[in-house]
Structure formats: C-alpha cells, structure tokens
Structure 1
Amino acid sequence: MIRIVLAGTATLALGVPAWVVTHPPAIPHAAVARVKLPPRRVVPPAELPPVEPVRLVDLSPDDARAFNASVPFSTDSNPAARPFRYVGSADDLARATDCLAAGVLYEAGDDATGERAVAQVVLNRLRHPAFPKTVCGVVFEGQDRSTGCQFTFSCDGALTRWKPGEAAWTRARAVAAMALSGSVYRPVGYATHYHTDWVVPYWQASLDKIAAVGSHLFFRWSGWWGTPPAFNRHMLAGEPVVAQLAPVSYAHKTGAALVEAQAALAEAAAATTGAQAVTVAGTSDSFLVTLPHGVAPETYPALAAKACGDRPVCKFSGWTDATRTPAALPLEAAQIATMSFSYMRDRAAGIEKSLWNCQQTPRPVRTQCMKQQVMLTAAPAATVTPSATPTPAPAPEQRGPAELGGVRRKGDEPVSSPARGGGSL
C-alpha cells in the first residue's frame, strides 16, 4: 500500500509540472502579440480619408478585450461637438428621426446613455465630408452590401429578426429627437467611429481612441481629419425612404403598406372622434379626443386632418391618457397642461398648425412644441384664532411640469441579443 502511495506521489510530482509546461495559461500579452493591424497612417488634409468596410480581426471576445485594453486613449484635447439642429421638411424630419432612432436602438440597445453616444457619432459623420449628407444616408450607408455596411444592424438581418417594443422605440425616438434639436453628448467629442470592446476592427489602426461609454470604444481620425474644422459640411434635403424601417415607421411606408397604414389611420380617426366631437357655438368645430394607442406621434396631424374633414375652421385637441380627456369646453388649466397634441386650422386666415406636448414627445424643432402651462397651487390658508392677528396667506407656489427622465437599461455583453449592436462602424 505504501508503495502505491509513493508511486502516485511521484507521478503527480513529475506529471503536473510537465502538463503546465505543455498547457500554459492564456495571458493578455499573447492576444496583443497576435493582432496584426495595417500600418498606422495619418491621412493628409489634401486627401479625403477612406471609409473602410467593417472587417474584424479573428479574436475571441476575451482576447479582443485584452488587445483593446492595451490601446491607450489619446492625450489630445477632446472638445464637444457643436449642437446640430435639423432643418428640413416635415416628411424629411420624420424619416430622419426614425432612421436615427433605429440606429441608436439597434446599436446601443435600450440604454439612454449609449443611445445618445451613437446619435452623436451619426451627426458627426453627417458633418464630415467623408460620409453621406442625410441622416438616413449615414445610418444605412452600405446596407446593400453584406460586408460594406457601416452600422452592423443594417445589413446583418437584425431588422427582420427583432422588432422593438413600443416603449423602447418611443424612448429611442425621444433620444433621436433631442439630438436633432441641438442636444450634444459631450464625452465622445467628434468621434466618427466606435466598436464594442469584444471586437477589433482593422480600421482601428489609423484612428485615435478618445472615449469609452459602457462597452463601446469611440474613435476619431488621427490628424487634421479628426479636428473640429474638418466637420464643415451641411446636410442635404431629401431623406431617403428606407424600406427596412416600414414595419416600425409610418414615415418609411410606401406602396401598399402606406395605403394600408392610411386606411388604418382613417379608421382610427373615425373611431376616435365619433362621439367626442364638441362644437364651439358661434365659432368653429372643435374635437376633444383620446389619441389611439400605438399610433406614432408623427401621424397625429394626419389623424387631425381626417377628423376635421373639409371644415374651413377646425381645432383638434388630443390626449394620450383617456382619463384626462375632457368631455366639454372650456378647458381647465390642468387639462391644457396634460394635452398631448393640438391642431388648428383657419383657411381664411391661412393658418394650419400642429403642436406637440414636448414634455411627452420631444420634437426636433422647438417651434413644434406647445407652450408649457404653469400650474398654480394655492397654499393652505392660515389658521386664525380670535386672539391672534390674521396672517396673510403665503404666495402661491409656482410649479412647472416634471422634467422628462430618460430610461436606462444596462445589460451584459449582448453578442446574441438583436437589441444590442455587437459590431462597429
């Protein structure tokens, strides 16, 4: 028995070291050494930098993270981008908003911070001479090529595999609307590229790493093409219709899908306004309605126009919350403050205007927002006793509407989730 124990001990003493020598543990330096990127090149100002297709180095997620961690952040200044404000037709704006919303949601997931960072990259690209000059053009650049798309979701089938829920889509559209109306996400500066930390794209060799937001790393071109003066171009009119977005975007529907959507909208208008029309005696027709659930805010003007029909003067007021929809006029201050949408028409005066409650639905153009109603709440009256001198009641407290809060959901590495982009641009 003792001989068996001694023999086993000797075997372990010799075998374990030998196994360790032949099976060394993986170390980050090995991953770094295996990465062979193209030689670093700073493109001169006289030459437009190429927009390379997305090609990834063949690495495991852990090895890619090890390599990315070895790449230092640039020590040069990282100024915030200038605010961007969309200028275009209502149709162009609607298409641009939904293109940008799709880009931020499919690439960053339902996370407000990540979505803002991706939106900033899209607008930075729009201003750079190396990229298309429409929002949809930037987001869907190269979508017709399996290896040439700049946003991975636009050509990897994500749009057909997964459809966002209504709440996530609404939040993404709110982020897009704010970005198109001047909101700036400062941490990523003038970044034009990004990728998740578990991949390594070949284009990384000629760019400077400037920021990290969650699991995404952000880059700008080295040299003059990454400085603020290079971002000197303006957008063009004519946002393209993207057929891939038709299932989630009214603005991108065409042909039979558009006809079907318009018919559904007309049906919703009839059902919504049927018994809720309130006529203002001696002036015009006015509609107080509960807006249909699931109808995109961009379609509210069409809904109002269908409800008003051929009336030369008409006012359409809508609420998304049925419990807040008034039954009669005049409206109280609280009812005005919670109104979601307003449409006014007076053809003799040349007036036809649509306004949204931007606390509920942010709009890219501030002139589309209703004026916020200030609610006054009277303070309780002071108690007066016969022996006390009456004290004047304090002035009413002024309260405004609550500030819209972002909704953020952070998850683990979303390699298999269609709601989180796993690549780069």
Structure 2
Amino acid sequence: MTENLHRQEPHPAMWLLWFMLFVGLPVAVANWEARERLPAAPRPAAAAPAGQAIRPPSPPPPVEPVEIYDLDAGQARALNAAVPFSRAPNPAARPFVFQGSQDDLARATDCLAAAQLYEAGNDAVGERAVAQVVLNRVRHPAFPKTVCGVVFQGQERATGCQFTFTCDGALARTYSPAAWERAREIAKRALAGQVFKPVGYATHYHTDWVVPYWSGSLDKVTAVGTHLFFRWKGWWGTPPAFRKPGETGEPLIARIARLSTAHRGGTGEELASAPPLQLAGGTVAELAAQPQQAIDDKGMPGIRVVLVAPGGRSILVEMARDSAPDSWPAMARTFCAGRPECRIMGWRAGTGPSALPLTGDQMESMTFAYIHNAATGLQRARWNCAQSPRANAAECMVQRVPVAPARAEAAGGLEGVRRKERFETVKIAPPPPVKVAPTVHP
C-alpha cells in the first residue's frame, strides 16, 4: 500500500507566538526598566481626620486658684444641669503603674488615699474617681510630676489650693481606721494600674451645688454621684497630652503625718527593711510552731496588755519603768509564740495609748517594737534609743520628723459629706445665663 506524504506548513498562530517571544518580550522588558529609572510621583498628603485635635505651639493651660461664682445651691444646680455633656469620645485613661522606691510608693499611696477620703468622703466609687483625676494630673504637663505634689499643690495658700481639703482645715477631721485602710487599698490598686474608666482623662471636678469659673471653658464628660468631671478642650484634653513621665522622690507631707507613718520620715516598715539582728530563742519558724498562748499578762510581771488590734496580729503593751530593756524581746516572743504574723508595740507604764488608731505623738513615744513573719522569716526588734540607749545603733528606731499640729475643725462637720463652705474660696460675679434652645414639638 502506497502512502501520500504531504509537506506540513506551520500554523499561523505559531508565527504570532514566535513574534511575541523574539520581539514583543524584549521591548516590554526595556520599557519596564526605563520606567523604574523615572522619579516616583509624589503621593498626595493624607488629610487629617475631621475633628482631630492638633498640638498647639503654646504651653499647656495655666492652673490657677479656684474661684467660685456667687450662687446658692439651687442656682448652681440649675446652671450645671443646663450645660450639656460633651458628645466627643471619652476614652478610658491608660493604666498608671507607679515607678519608684518603696518609700516613694508608701508616700504616694497615703497622699492619694488622703485626697480620695477627704474629697469624696467614705465612698468607694467616689474615691476611685478622685484617684483617677489625681493620676491624670500627674501625667499632664500642666501639673506637678509627683502624686503628693499634685494633691498638695497650692496648700501654702489659705484659699485657692487645687484640692480644698489641703487648705481649709478639713484634715482635722478623723475618719475611722476602716475608712482609712479602704482608701489606702483603693490607692494601692490605682497606683498598680487599675483604671476608673467613667472619668476618662478628666483633670477637674466639682460638686453640682457650686459653679467654678473654669467649668464653662472645659468639656463636661461625666457625673459620678454629685460630682461633675471635666477635661480641657482641644489637644490638651486628648490622650496624647497625657504622656509626661512622672518623677521619683515623693515629698514628705507633714500635714498628713497624723494619718501616715510614711510621712513621718519613714515608710512604716522600718523593722522589715532594717538589717536583721540575732535574737535568742530560735528562728521565727520555730517560734511560730510553738503552742499559741492566750493574749494576757498573767505570769508576766511588769507587763500589762493595753490593746489587741482586730485579728490579734498587733498587741500593744506597757512595760514597768523598772523593767530591763533586754528582757523585752523575750516578752514579745512569749506573746507571739504560735502566731505566723505578730507585732508587739510597747510603751513605758502610764504612757501607752487607750484607743486605735495611734496618733503621731503616740507613735513617737513608743518605747519598743517587735515584728515577725513566719512566711518570710522576718524577725526584728527595735528600741527607742532616746529612752533606752543601745550599744548597737542598728537596734534603734528610726527618728521621725516632727509633726505640726492640725488646725481645729469647725463644729458641725459630717463624715463623708463635703460642706459647701469648703468650696467658697473666692466668690466672683455670677456667670451670664445659659441659653437653651426651646424644644420644638411636632
């Protein structure tokens, strides 16, 4: 069988493919390389978001003495109610974590606790709000750089201090030990990063029965109880303005030394931080493992139990004037046997306290102190060397800073209630009435 062989010609599509490979591809590569050598066209600048505040070139607003409009409580409440709350976002403040030594932390804690308690009264929610405002101020460049500096700013003035309790005699009021300890716990949590979100970045507040001169120039952001909270308008009230680093070195505030051991020249933990001393009678673990003794002075001549603090961890005693100072550690260990945590505070006979909390004078006159903690192995004893000199200076209590007496408070004060008179530092003419647009009903 014979086959016819025909010559096959390339398909037309193949000619097109060869043209693209040998001509089109080199041209495309050359054009791309030339494009890369051209300067890039500038991109249009991104527009700032509408309404975004821009940092002004001027310094932050001044912080001036408080002036109050001359209005009665009813007029003030009506005027405050007519001012609307800001409709701008009210973001929560960033957590504030205190950076500093234990001494600084102890002082900051008690300054903050004092501000909370004396500004908001014995009210946990109000205290948290006050604490947040104080910490917001610490971060803002318009205010001092320490917690105590913010709280006691302007305290040297009879009027016009930033927190009125610091200059109107309110510190003479005494709150219960439980109220003070709760305020300190709230302060500790705030300094460890707990945020009270409702007030945001507020730096000012006042009660609704007064109208400070500055209230119309700030944004009203929220209300907590009867207190209204404000922040600055514009950039100075936005989160970027609150970037100022704090400073270490919290100052001693003698005016709260009655409340705070930390402001008497020590942290209140001198026994815990001092170098250990060798005490006869075994380690604290061995002592805590012994049978617990009843807290009484039977069988302990020359010793009288004065007070036992709630929980039995602190025992206050009086020692006979002829008792030997070297015998006091043995007395303390007898009381503390079987107790994981124990503190003994002793005075000479006839000089001990009759009630808690202790005053500054009572702390100053303490004759002997002992503390132990089985969990940490801590065991310390200290003497008041002004009364009982010791050969080893390390056995002496820390000398404290003299405390100025507090001013007497006017009669009739109520715990937890801020009196109107405390705000009436400087009165000025009433503000113009607030114009409110009439409501149109369909």
Give the direction of change, closer, same or farther, for the CA distance of 1:344–1:158 in structure 2 (3 Å limit).
same
Question: Shift of the alpha carbon at 1:205?
Answer: 2.2
Q: Please report the RMSD computed on the Cα atoms of aligned residues, expressed in angstroms.
A: 4.0
More helix by share: 1
Corresponding position of 2:264: 253
- Residue of structure 2 in register with 1:187 after alignment: 198
**What is the 5 A alignment of 1:74-223?**
74-160=86-172, 162-223=173-234
Displacement of 1:204: 1.2
Per the TM alignment, residue 180 of structure 1 is displaced from its structure 2 partner at its CA by 0.6
Residues 68-79 of structure 1: matches in 2 within 5 Å? 68-79=80-91
The corresponding residue for 1:317 is 340
Q: Distance in 1 between matches of 2:309 and 2:134?
A: 30
User: Relative to 1, partners in 2 of residues 1:279 and 1:195: Cα closer, same or farther, differing over 3 Å?
Assistant: same
Q: Specify the alignment match of 1:15 in structure 2.
A: none
Aligned-partner residue type, residue 131 of structure 1: F
Residue of structure 1 aligned with 2:414, choices 397, 412, 417? 417
CA distance in 2: counterparts of 1:209 and 1:128, whole angstroms: 18
User: 2:432 maps to what in 1?
Assistant: none
User: Which runs of structure 2 are paired with 1:10-409 in the superposition (5 Å)?
Assistant: 44-160=56-172, 162-254=173-265, 279=282, 286-287=287-288, 293=309, 317-318=340-341, 344=376
Q: What is the identity, as a one-letter code, of the residue corresponding to 1:293?
A: A
Map of 1:358 onto structure 2: none
Kept in 2, the 8 Å contact 1:278–1:287? The answer is no
Which ranges in structure 2 are unaligned for 5 or more consecutive residues?
1-53, 273-278, 296-306, 314-327, 331-337, 344-371, 381-411, 426-442
Q: Tell me the amino acid that sits aligned with residue 118 of structure 1.
A: V
Q: Give the TM-score normalised by the residue count of structure 1.
A: 0.56
For residue 95 of structure 1, give the secondary structure of its aligned residue in structure 2: helix
Aligned-partner Cα distance in 2 for 1:129–1:316: 49
Could you tell me whether the CA contact under 8 Å between 1:188 and 1:218 is conserved in 2?
yes
Paired positions, count: 269
What is the CA-CA distance between 1:421 and the residue it aligns to?
3.6
Give the partner amino acid of 1:176: A
Deviations 1:272-303 (A, max 9, x none): xx9xx9846xx9755479996289x9xxxxxx
Match for 1:94: what amino acid? Answer: A
Give the CA deviation at 1:234.
1.4
Contact 1:316 1:344 in 2 (8 A): no
Q: Deviations over 1:29-74 (max 9, x none)?
A: xxxxxxxxxxxxx994532211121110000011100000000000
CA distance in 1, matches of 2:55, 2:97: 29
Determine if contact 2:285/2:374 at 8 Å carries over to the other structure.
no
User: Residues 344 and 262 of structure 1: is their aligned pair in 2 closer, same or farther, counting only changes over 3 Å?
Assistant: closer
**Structure 1 residues 284 and 75 mapped into 2: Cα distance closer, same or farther (>3 Å)?**
closer
Q: Distance in 2 between matches of 1:279 and 1:185?
A: 48
Distance in structure 1 (CA, Å) of the matches to 2:141 and 2:373: 38
- Using the size of structure 2 for normalisation, the TM-score is 0.54
Pairwise CA distance, 1:343: 5.9
Deviation of 1:163 (Å):
1.1
Q: Give the superposition deviation at 1:225.
A: 0.2
Per-residue deviation, 1:129: 0.4
Which has the greater radius of gyration?
Answer: 2
Shift of 1:86: 1.0
Q: Give structure 1 stretches of 5+ with no counterpart.
A: 1-41, 267-273, 298-305, 309-314, 321-339, 353-414
Contact preservation (8 Å) 1:81, 1:190:
yes
Contact 2:136 2:203 in 1 (8 A): yes
Residue type of the alignment partner of 2:341: G
Identity %, equivalent residues: 56
Distance 1:45 1:418, change over 3 A: farther
